Amino acid sequence: MRLRNVKGARETIASNAYVVQNPEQWKGKWHSLFKNENPIHIEVGMGKGKFILELAKQNPDINYIGIEKYSSVLIRALEKRPELEQDNLVFIRMDAEEIKEVFGENEVAQIYLNFSDPWPKDRHAKRRLTSVQFLERYDAFLAPEGKVIFKTDNKDLFTFSLEQVEEANWKLENHTFDLHHSPYVEGNVMTEYESKFVAEGKPIHRMVISREK
């Protein structure tokens, strides 16, 4: 469940140094913001930020951008951000549908999609972050060797996503319907939802995809 109505969340986000305001102004220039040429990885729909904060801590030579639509959730990540000693993580509050307006061609090396909203009704299929429509958006700014890594507990969404990869003519690098009982679990960083689901014994589905050359 999403948190809602956290008093003062929008005001805090609007004035927080770790949140990039008017991110479209940095399109094609994100390396200038980070003041280095390190690869840029993004998480779309980062929730409370456990996953991306841990990645940023483990990988100081990679720049991370966490994208979250809901102020009431993003505020929780901001509360944890001062614990990170590096300057390789910033946040954006925005709807993912606008993502092409924020990143330039070949600017992002990797995209993480973790436990995204399944949008279960058929009429909302294009809103799913692994839909053909979103894969087209990612194609506009993902680097030539870039990858999208998707994890979910929702088998229907995962099956849909596999179909969308084929329809969009992307390449399925690898996938599993049970990440934590597969070779791919090595080095896996868990999100808040993932920790909960694993504790409950639910299988986690994961795929890694890239564009066909």
The rounded percent of the chain whose pLDDT value lies above 70 is 97
Instruction: Provide the pLDDT for residue 2.
Output: 44
SS (H, E, C) 86-151: CCCEEEEECCHHHHHHCCCCCCEEEEEEECCCCCCCHHHHHHCCCCHHHHHHHHCCEEEEEEEEEE
**Catalytically annotated residues:** 117
Query: How do residues 126-158 score in pLDDT, each as one tens digit?
Result: 999 999 999 999 999 999 999 999 999 999 999
2 in a domain, yes or no?
no
C-alpha separations of 90 from 8, 19, 53, 63, 181 in Å: 20, 6, 10, 8, 33
Residue 99 belongs to a domain: yes
Q: Does residue 1 have a pLDDT over 90?
A: no
Domain of residue 123 covers 9-211
pLDDT at residue 194, as a whole number:
96
Q: Phi/psi of residue 194, each to 5°?
A: -60, -45
pLDDT in the model for residue 93: 96
pLDDT tens digits, 30-76:
999 999 999 999 999 999 999 999 999 999 999 999 999 999 999 99
CA dist 18 and 35 (Å) reads 15
Residue type, 176: T
* Residue 3: pLDDT band with limits 50, 70, 90: very low
- Identify whether 119 is part of a domain: yes
Does a structural domain hold residue 4? Answer: no
pLDDT at 187 over 80: yes
CATH for 62: 3.40.50.150
Number of domains within the chain: 1
Q: Is residue 118 part of a domain?
A: yes
User: Is residue 9 scored above 90 in pLDDT?
Assistant: no
195-212 confidence digits (pLDDT tens): 999 999 999 999 999 998
Mean pLDDT of 94-108: 97
